[in-house]
């Protein structure tokens, strides 16, 4: 896989492997040409690869390599795959006013080695579908797929002018990609119930489960608020039947997984929370 990437340098992110006397670190930099595919551990190497890395992320791993050992492509790819901080990120219509700035912030994070598959909400387009449904003009089945198509429309808004890439594939990847979910869910909707209990939140939960990844929901509140206070952590058992910023379908689907609720109205505060691991509410499935 890495060999294929090396053959297509224009499509790749840049990283630099700095190794001295058997010690070193990996850090993200601006694009640089790669030099050799066989990497000595005691030299300064410029390598173009498909994965960017946060500073010092694999210091201990590199430190253990002997001075005279070389890293071939398979070894490099293994290191990069292990190191990628990857999130499925639900970004809904409540953030439409700050969506462009938040997407730009995600692109900035990607240059530090963070990777995101963004699951779009349905935004005002899905609200229109719900309005038609409430008037009795749509069946559950038609409303479901129209709402999924509304997610695709919102995806174009999120990608517009931000540098994010639209994708139809449910997979881990580098950078920031925004999912166009209709085709993938037509092929396999992972058993999701076609009702308003299961919205784009539930789509994000199912995709995070499929990819075995961390899940963040960016929304316009500070977390799960109960009795006027933001809870740092709460179980799905407590949230069943309660209206919150996460749909009831997600509450049922989380099971042994978790979802991190973060306020995305201020992109810089959102970034700070991702980097520090603090803020918002962790919902733990039971």
Together in a domain, 108 and 38: no
For 140-163, what is each residue's pLDDT tens digit?
999 999 999 999 999 999 999 999
Residue 50 CB neighbours (<10 A): 21
* CA distances in angstroms from 90 to 46, 241, 285, listed in the order given: 35, 21, 17
Residue 172's pLDDT band (cuts 50, 70, 90) = confident
Cα separation, 60 vs 64, in Å, equals 7
Whether residue 239 sits in one domain with residue 123: yes
Would you mind telling me the total number of residues written for the chain in this entry?
286
Q: What value does the mean pLDDT of the chain take?
A: 77
Q: Tell me: pLDDT of 22 over 60.
A: no
Q: Which two tokens stand for residue 7?
A: 């053959």
User: Is residue 60 scored above 50 in pLDDT?
Assistant: no
User: Residue 40: what pLDDT?
Assistant: 38
Task: Kindly report the CATH number assigned to the domain that includes residue 250.
Answer: 3.40.1160.10
Which of 38, 65, 83 corresponds to the end of one domain? 83
The reply to whether 161 and 31 lie within a common domain is no
152 and 231 assigned to the same domain: yes
HEC string of the chain?
A: CHHHHHCCHHHCEEEEEEEECCEEEEEECCCCCCCCCCEECCCEEEEEECCCCCCCCCHHHHHCCCCCCEECHHHHHHHHHHHCCEEEEEECHHHCCCHHHHHHHHHHHHCCCCEEEEEECCHHHHHHHHHHHHCCCCCHHHHHHHHHHHHHHHHHHHHCCCCCEEECCCCCCCCEEEECCHHHHHHCCCCCCCCCCCCHHHHHHHHHHHHCCEEEEEECCCCCEECCEECCEEEHHHHCCCCCCCCHHHHHHHCCCEEEEEECCCHHHHHHHHHHCCCCEEEECC
Helices (H) and strands (E) in the chain, counts: 11, 15
Residue with tokens 């996460």: 246
Counting residues of the chain whose pLDDT is more than 70, the rounded percentage is: 71
pTM exceeds 0.85: no
Whether the Cβ atoms of residue 2 and residue 38 lie closer than 8 Å to each other = no
Euclidean distance between CA atoms 234 and 226, whole angstroms: 10
- Residue where a domain stops, chosen among 46, 65, 83: 83
Contact (CB, 8 A) for 166 and 178: yes
Q: How many domains does the chain fold into?
A: 2
Shared-domain flag, residues 246 and 104: yes
Q: Are residues 105 and 171 in the same domain?
A: yes
Its domain, for residue 32, covers: 2-83
Task: Give mean pLDDT, residues 27-46.
Answer: 32
pLDDT tens digits for 93-141?
A: 999 999 999 999 999 998 888 899 999 999 999 999 999 999 999 999 9
Distance between CA 106 and CA 95 in Å, rounded? Answer: 14
Residues 123 and 222 placed together within one structural domain of the fold: yes
Q: Using alpha carbons only, what angle is made at residue 117 by residues 114 and 119, rounded to the nearest 5 degrees?
A: 140
Looking at the fold, whether 168 and 182 belong to one and the same domain comes out as yes
DSSP 143: H
- Please tell me whether residues 96 and 155 are part of one structural domain: yes
If asked whether residues 79 and 113 sit together in one domain, one would say: no
Average pLDDT over residues 185-213: 94
Q: pLDDT (tens digit, 9 = 90+) per residue, 62-90?
A: 333 444 445 555 555 555 544 568 999 99
Same domain? For 243 and 140 the reply is: yes
Last residue of a domain, one of 83, 101, 118: 83
157 and 39 both lie in a single domain:
no
């Amino acid at each position: 896989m890495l060999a294929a990437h090396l053959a297509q340098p224009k499509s790749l992110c840049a990283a630099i492997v700095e190794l001295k006397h058997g010690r070193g670190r990996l850090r993200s930099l601006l694009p640089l040409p790669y030099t050799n595919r066989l990497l000595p551990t005691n030299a300064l190497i410029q390598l173009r690869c498909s994965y960017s890395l946060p500073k010092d992320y694999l210091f201990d791993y590199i430190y253990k390599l002997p001075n005279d050992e070389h890293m071939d492509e398979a070894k490099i790819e293994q290191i990069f795959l292990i190191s990628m901080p990857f999130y499925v990120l639900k970004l809904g219509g409540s953030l439409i006013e700050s969506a462009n700035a938040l997407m730009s912030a995600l692109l900035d994070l990607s240059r530090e080695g963070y990777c995101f598959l963004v699951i779009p909400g349905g935004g005002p387009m899905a609200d229109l579908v719900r309005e038609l449904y409430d008037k009795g003009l749509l069946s559950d089945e038609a409303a479901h797929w129209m709402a999924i198509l509304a997610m695709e429309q919102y995806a174009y808004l999120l990608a517009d002018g931000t540098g994010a890439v639209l994708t139809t594939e449910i997979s881990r990847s580098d950078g920031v990609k925004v999912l166009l979910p209709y085709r993938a869910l037509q092929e396999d909707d992972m058993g999701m119930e076609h009702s308003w209990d299961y919205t784009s939140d539930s789509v994000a939960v199912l995709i995070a489960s499929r990819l075995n990844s961390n899940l963040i929901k960016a929304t316009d509140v500070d977390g799960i608020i109960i009795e006027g206070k933001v809870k740092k952590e709460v179980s799905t058992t407590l949230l069943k039947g309660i209206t919150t910023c996460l749909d009831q379908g997600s509450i049922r689907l989380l099971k042994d997984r978790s979802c991190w609720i973060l306020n995305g109205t201020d992109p810089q505060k959102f970034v700070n929370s991702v980097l520090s691991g603090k803020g918002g509410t962790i919902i733990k499935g039971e």
